[in-house]
Amino acid sequence: MFKKKRFLAIFLVFVMIFSISACKKGDKSTDGDQVTVAPTATVAPTTAPVKESFVGIDFEDGNYGFIELNTSPGNADKSILSVVDFNGSKQLKVEIQEDKVPYIAIDTSSLLRSRVADVRSIEMDVTVAYKDGKFRAVSGFIYAYSGTDRKESKDPWSVYLETKNPNKAVGTLDNEAQYFVAGAKNFFILTKETDNGKDQGFGAADLYIDNIVIRDASGNAMAVDTTVSFDKPDGFGESDWSNLTKVKDTVEIEGFNVSGDAWNQNGVNTTSNKGTFDASLIKPGCILTINYTSEGSVWLVAVPGEGAPYGWTRIQQQTAVKNDSNSTCQITYDQIVEALGTEDFASTLAVLQGEGDAAWSIKSVTIGYEAKQLPATMNDASIEGFAVKADGWSQDGVITTLDGGNFDASLLKPGSVVTINYKSDGDVWLVAVPGTGAPYAWTRIAQGAAAKNDENNKCQITYEQIVEALGTEDFASTLGKLQCEGDQAWEVYSVTIGEFAHTMVKVKDEVAIDGFAVKADGWSQAGVTTTTNGGTFDASLLKPGCIVTISYKSAGNVWLIANPGNGASYGWTRIAQGAAAKNPEGNKCQITYDQIVTALGTEDFAGSLAELQAEGEQAWEVYGVTIGYPVE
């Protein structure tokens, strides 16, 4: 038995050897030498995973025209926006300029158009970067401005750990009251309101923003059109209102975003002509504001319907008041009536159109009414440390030098005016907290009686109102604290003490002084050379009755300098220093011919004037200087 098993084992070994040698024969096998083996599993070829395409805004296309800074709030920073290469990708850089709060607005309505009503959230990656390369924590909010009245809601965000820099900021629309509405110019704003580096004296952090994603109710990322431009709502940002009347209670004419070539017309049909525009909205006292782009002027055209007592009519052709940047013009109700010869035009108006003397594009047309603006001030001094906030009926402010603080109350002099820049849904006023020996008690000053603008973000209290409230002019030496208070939650961005400026007048027949776009540091001068000194400015344009208007940017005042030539009867002279008429926005001033004559002591100055320059007590930039005459 053992031998039989041994023989079988040897036989199997020979069979295996024979099989192996058969498998190693030549490449061309025959049926006789094939060996059947068990099939092996088929392995699929390896492929790289497909990366899901990003839906949102990553700035790789370089576009960011849908983002703008809102510089209207009193604490707003005039940051510089740019798309840069950062951390291996393109990102939006927000470079802080004044150590204030950046209000970075994202025009969701333009990005999504009619689909904006589906928006439920926005998210973005935010990186904090300090000049010294070190990390400090910052925080802020994402604000949403929703509905036809753009009601505000907010969600907090922060970058609080270096290991979580960048961090994701998220803003949500939590309920129906917060949902966006198509055509209502709804948008989000990202702010940075707390900055530990700035508070510790290291300066404010710059921000880098990337990977903005807007989501719908299902959490799906929504595709956006990044080629659009920011469409500003009324009151947004530092719009150019030069020469214009600020308006309130505006209603936008639906569908009036049209364009045309020079001398071509386009516009909207009225309801009397099967259109959507109700011409009865054009009422006495109203102002039509036209936002446009064009190399020329833009105006309105009235196309009459049946039975109209007027014909096809151009309204304010090349004479509509427009701003310096030629982007907005205004036409009043009275001008429409004058052009059409009747107040009874609404029921017979078939089409209201735009037209221009060069190719033009109208972004929007609104109907509104003149907004109340506070008088302009000059020689303003900011009260240091008066950036405070509190709940309704709570107070906060500054301590006077009398009580060991920094505020010198003697700055409150006869003729002075206190201007408060704030945010609140109610009124804001001053509170005087007396020191030892004061002849007055704890006192509210101008409660509910401070002059304020229609935007309810700025109010003014005069020296006379302070004296009336305290019952004495001798209050400065016994004032312990000067505070603010409000009847609702409030935040004060700044408080200044200045004096009322002279009121500017509207001018006509303006001539620009060529080459007068200059800038310099405080107490430095720059300007133009006259023709008598080899330059291009003809000083004989300065004639009796004329007004010199200066468009500028500065934290202080700007005025003129006369630099005399040979034989002049006057010396180097400052003209209207701190005395020029100024607009409420503080970006335009006027100096009259009479002020020039008074400063130089002669009417015979033109032939001996070598240079006409600008100057200011702080860094300044002049965009243009014109010579015109008052509108009668």
Coil/strand/helix, residue 437: coil
Amino acid identity, residue 285? G
For β-strands 416-424 and 490-500, DSSP reports them as antiparallel
pLDDT of residue 346: 96
Q: Cα 455 from chain centroid?
A: 15
Amino acid identity, residue 270? T
Integer-rounded Cα Rg, in Å, for the chain is 35
pLDDT of residue 506: 85
Distance set, CA 35 to CA 15, 135, 219, 472, 529 (Å): 12, 72, 60, 120, 105
- pLDDT, averaged in runs of 10, over the chain (632 residues): 42 42 38 39 51 88 95 86 96 94 96 96 98 96 92 95 96 95 94 94 96 97 95 73 85 93 98 96 97 94 97 95 88 97 97 97 93 88 94 98 96 97 95 96 97 93 98 96 97 94 88 94 97 97 97 91 97 96 88 98 97 96 93 77
Closest CA to 526 of 552, 565, 555: 552
Burial of 17 by CB count in 10 Å (0-12 exposed, 13-18 middle, 19+ buried)?
A: exposed
pLDDT of residue 50: 53
pLDDT of residue 265: 98
Burial of 211 by CB count in 10 Å (0-12 exposed, 13-18 middle, 19+ buried)?
A: middle
Q: Any idea what DSSP says for residue 20? A: H
Token look-up 């030069």 returns: 242
pLDDT of residue 363: 86
pLDDT of residue 234: 67
The answer to whether 292 and 362 are in contact (CB under 8 A) is yes
Q: Any idea what DSSP says for residue 533? A: G
Coil/strand/helix, residue 136: coil
- Residues 6 or more apart whose Cβ sits within 8 Å of residue 446: 429, 430, 461, 465, 469
pLDDT of residue 549: 96
**433: its two tokens:** 């907290």
Q: pTM, whole model, 2 decimals?
A: 0.68
pLDDT of residue 76: 87
pLDDT of residue 89: 96
For β-strands 328-332 and 451-452, DSSP reports them as unpaired
pLDDT of residue 165: 97
Q: Can you give the three-state secondary structure of 386-439, one letter per residue?
A: CCEEECCCCEEEEEEHHHCCCECHHHCCCCEEEEEEEEECCCEEEEEEECCCCC
pLDDT of residue 148: 85
Q: How far apart are the first and last CA of the chain?
A: 138
The answer to whether 185 and 109 are in contact (CB under 8 A) is yes
Segment (H or E) for 16:
helix 2-23
Q: Does residue 166 have a cis bond before it (omega within 30 degrees)?
A: yes
Domains of the chain, with CATH numbers? 67-215 (2.60.120.260), 247-370 (2.60.120.1070), 377-500 (2.60.120.1070), 507-630 (2.60.120.1070)
